[in-house]
Amino acid sequence: MTAPKGHIAAIDPASLPKHYDAAAAEPRWGEVWERAGTYHYDPGRPRAETYVIDTPPPTASGSLHPGHVFSYTHTDILARYVRMTGRNVFYPIGWDDNGLPTERRVQNYFHIRCDPGVPYDPELVLEEASARASKEGPPRKVSRPNFIAACERVTRQDEQAFKRLWTRMGLSFDWREEYQTIGTRSRRIAQYSFLDLWRKGHVESRYAPTLWDVDFQCAIAQAELEDRTVPGAYHDLEFGVEGGGRFTISTTRPELLAACVGVTAHPEDARHRHLFGKLALTPLFRVPVPIFPSEKADPEKGTGILMVCTFGDATDVKWWREHGLSLRQIVQRDGRLAPVVFGGEGWESRDAAAANHAYAELAGKNLNQARKRVVELLREPDASATGQGAPLVAEPRAIQHVVKYYEKGERPLELVPTRQWFVRLLPWKDALIEQGARIQWHPGYMQHRYEDWTRNLNQDWCISRQRYFGVPIPVWFPLDAEGRRDYEKPILPDEPQLPVDPTTDVPRGYEAAQRGVPGGFDAETDIFDTWFTSSLTPQISSHWTLDAERHAKLFPADVRPQAHDIIRTWAFYTIAKAWLHEGRTPWDDVVVSGFVLDPERKKMSKSRGNVVTPLPLVEEYGADAIRYWAGSARLGVDAALDEQVFRVGKRLVTKLFNAGKFALAQSGPAHPIASELDRAFAARLAELVRSATRAFEDKNHAQALQETESFFWSRYTDVYLELVKARARDEAAEAAAGRGSAVAALRLGLSVLLRLFAPFVPYITEEVWSWQFAGERGEPSIHRAPWPSERDFAGIAPPAESASLEIAMACFAAIHKAKADASVSAGREVERLTLAANPKTLAKLALVAGDVLSAARVREHALAAQDDLADGAFAVRDAVFAERAES
RNA sequence: AGGCACGUAGCUCAGUGGCUAGAGCACCACCUUGACACGGUGGGGGUCGGCGGUUCAAUCCCGCCCGUGCCUACCA
């Protein structure tokens, strides 16, 4: 249907439904966008026109969480804004599927455990139901390939659930750029990263005491530590001194007594100075250990003198290194005490028989059991190293103390000497802080988090994990004639071989048959820390090492959206990798979203059990309404899950539907926007566009939304739309110019406001846009329409009086109030009234009085000058209202 | 213990060195209106955490204190 030239055609409101049904419309538009490729990245356009988003890959096996909806919506709002400004948005989505969370979920889902010793069973069928039935028994042991297959199966399912939610939320990803962190490309790029770091000398393998989780039986990195305050107890134990004497130490870990390798106190401590240089004798095991001074010993703590064990904490490691102490590792990888024998080399004892007798009670026990038993043994007088009564000289004193845990773990971390791979980061601390300063953080104070973390870093990055579902470390070791690994000469693959699985692939120059035989080779079985791969998300998306041209176009990225709790991991490691690989920052901006709190303002988390499943909320209120809630929160600020805000969002959607229906139902002769009120409205609208655009450029979407919303309600629908209704429908021939101006301005207002709202509420804006605006510029979707700008206002003369809109509004409101005071409906006609205002205001009113009086349905009016009224204020007097019309 | 952020109406939050500090929700009253009753109009509601300082002027800037949250440190 083409409109006659010179006439603005209207839509037929009767053809539209009475009410907008988000549940039906949203999935429909999702399909339209998918089919049209509305959000596709165009690789043909130059870098300068491209905007690259380094999207966080969610942990696919994690639960769907309102926090996801919240922060991903923030990013999507930014993406949609940038896209409308004409830039070519690269907005990929990946799934972080490797790692412990997936393994744990799979273990529970199928009730299985991975055991690399079990042979592969290609026929193995795992079912959730049967797993549930077998929960009675111990978990079934399955081979590593079977376990990985189970992981892949579960993550695919989980990813589909996420994808459904993301699609429904209207996140404008380019789904062609979907990837998995366990996928072939990610594995290749992660392994290449390792090769590159190795070549540059940033990687090494070390045998050293490492933070160790005894349940996962896996090394972890400093960034995965979590402090927890837990109950403990001081135990006062009396030690002997060789050559005579005794002293009492305080320890919270008596179960490590057998691992005691030294005793230390502060050098200035008069109570203990006489002991330095002598040998102490441990109770129970009668092991002679050196007593040495150390500045690190705090005279205020405990008794001021303490035992050094291998290893109770990080300070023990330092003492052990600096003082060349013995290594007596009694804690095994499974958290149980090792079967050691006193009397041999490194395990000296002045009474080996007694030591072994006592230790026999402890070997094989876990740490809690061992603690309980060793305390019992220390209550026996014959355990004394001094012959003066029981070594436990006082009842244990209960305390609350802070203990390091793996953030996903359940038992305290131990320090266990193991061989691990490390990326050397400590030498780069200053450089990494400087890199962080080159990045714009939003909000700015998030940079402090990064700097604090980097400055306090005290360990290199342990990147090896003794787990199964992850990217294999691409290394083999040559075996010597005795079949021992030569750790000094690891064999790395060549780049074209990547990705490799060293447990099945064969290194160059070897035959498969040489695996595991003396003179042959042996595979590294460890996998990478998941962050080793996740820290490469910009490079995974840019196809680093696979497509140089694409990489140059997409790396570094423009923006990294993320949550603040993973600044120390994801942001930090990504910055570190980009620095070590290419000497640059991985992005220009970081935008940090807050957390979602439950209605009691508590952080929503799985462990608190207060997580709400988002999809039912989306179905109840519509995605636009949920997005409105997310969009109204500023970056970095935590937001409470608030259904009242969802309702406000839903109301906005309804209002957009109805206002759009009204504005587009008006027709009239084509005419420029020329009437005073219309020009005043356009001028205010242009101000809004400038202000909202500035807010978006400052990464302040919440302000843009607030201003747009405020204008939409309190200027467009409540005011302007009411004021021009009559003129927009005036059929009189002599009113044609005014009518055409009103219709044009109504449409301009709708068109601009829809576009300003489009990043926040993409569905309803697309819906209304589709009724008539779509296709006007050859582009059907509002989400590819140009962001409002001065161009929308070209040729519109400024109003004669800049406050005309506000004058009209104030006068209209005064008449409304008079009607309300008389309990008369706003639509009732007014026979006559007198409008009072100061002379200046009356003069301004003259410019717009026609619109005000016809909108208020005033038949006759008089004006009265009243000097004591403030500028812009009106008083209504002597109003006579018409009788209510008979229906 | 250190760092960062926050503290404004019953609730959720804007805001500014200067008119009488705002919005939404909630609450109260009123209005069938022609886009919308999934709507509209009007109204009540504040010691801007406390104390001090700078200033002609402080909710805003500075200092101290109190409270909340997060990050980091604290393992004998």
Q: What is the pLDDT of residues A744-788, one digit of tens each?
A: 999 999 999 999 999 999 999 999 999 999 977 777 999 999 999
> For residue A130, is pLDDT > 60?
no
Distance CA A745, CA A728 (A): 10
Residue A274: strand, helix, or coil: helix
Residue A231: strand, helix, or coil: strand
Query: The pTM is what?
Result: 0.93
Residue A182 banded pLDDT, cuts 50, 70, 90: very high
> For residue A874, is pLDDT > 80?
yes
Mean pLDDT of A368-387: 93
The Å distance, CA of A810 to C1' of B21, is: 21
Residue A16: other Cβ atoms inside 10 A:
18
The Å distance, CA of A638 to C1' of B7, is: 15
Mean pLDDT is lowest, of A30-39, A370-379, A380-389, for A380-389
Antiparallel, parallel or unpaired: β A140-142 and A179-180: unpaired
Distance CA A115, CA A409 (A): 20
Distance CA A743, CA A180 (A): 51
- Distances, alpha carbon A294 to alpha carbons A264, A306, A406, A871, in Å: 6, 11, 29, 79
* Protein residue closest via CA to C1' of B2: A452
Strand B nucleotides where any atom sits below 7 Å of a protein CB: 2-5, 12-15, 20, 23-26, 29-36, 38-43, 69-76
Residue A4: other Cβ atoms inside 10 A:
9
Residue A529 banded pLDDT, cuts 50, 70, 90: very high
Distance CA A334, CA A340 (A): 15
Mean pLDDT of A667-673: 92
Distance CA A41, CA A45 (A): 9
- Distances, alpha carbon A308 to alpha carbons A217, A259, A554, A649, in Å: 24, 8, 52, 61
The Å distance, CA of A403 to C1' of B75, is: 5
* Protein residue closest via CA to C1' of B13: A633
What is chain A's mean pLDDT, rounded?
Answer: 92
What is the tens place of the pLDDT at every residue in A682-703?
Answer: 999 999 999 999 999 999 999 9
**ipTM over 0.85 threshold:** yes
Mean pLDDT of A315-344: 94
The Å distance, CA of A599 to C1' of B47, is: 29
Contact A391, A237 (CB under 8 A): yes
List phi, psi (to 5°) of A108: -75, -40
Mean pLDDT of A464-491: 95
Mean pLDDT is lowest, of A214-223, A469-478, A495-504, A606-615, for A606-615
Report the amino acid identity of residue A467: R
Q: Which helix (H) or strand (E) holds A197?
A: helix A184-199
Contact A683, A690 (CB under 8 A): no
* Protein residue closest via CA to C1' of B22: A710
Q: Which helix (H) or strand (E) holds A358?
A: helix A352-359
The Å distance, CA of A192 to C1' of B47, is: 64
Residue A885 banded pLDDT, cuts 50, 70, 90: low
Q: What is the pLDDT of residue A435?
A: 95
Q: Which helix (H) or strand (E) holds A624?
A: helix A623-631
> For residue A293, is pLDDT > 70?
yes
Residue written as tokens 């969480």? A65
The Å distance, CA of A772 to C1' of B4, is: 50
Q: What is the pLDDT of residue A562?
A: 93
> For residue A662, is pLDDT > 90?
yes
Going edge to edge, which strands form the sheet with A875-881? Answer: A858-865, A830-837, A875-881
Nucleotide nearest to A642 (CA to C1'): B12
Mean pLDDT of A243-258: 94
Residue A230 banded pLDDT, cuts 50, 70, 90: confident
Q: What is the pLDDT of residue A887?
A: 45
Give chain A's radius of gyration (CA, Å). Answer: 36
> For residue A43, is pLDDT > 70?
yes
Highest mean pLDDT of the ranges A107-121, A384-398, A566-580: A566-580
Nucleotide nearest to A456 (CA to C1'): B72
Q: What is the pLDDT of residue A294?
A: 92
Residue written as tokens 């800049």? A802
Residue A444: other Cβ atoms inside 10 A:
9
What percent of chain A stands above pLDDT 70? 98
Residue A1 banded pLDDT, cuts 50, 70, 90: very low
> For residue A603, is pLDDT > 50?
yes
Residue written as tokens 């007088």? A381
The Å distance, CA of A604 to C1' of B11, is: 19
Nucleotide nearest to A728 (CA to C1'): B34
Residue written as tokens 């009492």? A248
